[in-house]
Amino acid sequence: MKRIVTFILINLKSYAEGTGQRAHQIATMAQSVSEESGVEIGLAAGYIDLHPLSRHFEIPIYAQHVDGVPPGAFTGHVTASAVRQAGAVGSLLNHSERRLTLAALEAGLKALTEEKLSSVICTNNEATSAAAAALHPTYVAVEPPELIGSGVSVSKANPEIITRSVAAVREVNPEGKVLTGAGIQSGECVKIAVDLGTDGVLLASSVVKAKDPGAVLRDLVSLL
Catalytic residues: 95, 143
Give the three-state DSSP class for 140. strand
DSSP characters over 168-220:
HHHHH-TT-EEEEESS--SHHHHHHHHHTT-SEEEE-HHHHT-S-HHHHHHHH
CB 181 within 8 A of CB 202: yes
Contacts of 80 (CB under 8 A, 6+ apart): 66, 68, 91, 108, 111, 112, 114, 115, 117
∠ CA 57-60-63, rounded to 5°: 110
Contacts of 174 (CB under 8 A, 6+ apart): none
Q: What value does the CA radius of gyration of the chain take, rounded to a whole number of Å? A: 16
Question: Which residues make beta-bridge pairs with 67?
Answer: 79
Q: Single out the residue of 103, 193, 91 nearest to residue 144, CA to CA.
A: 193
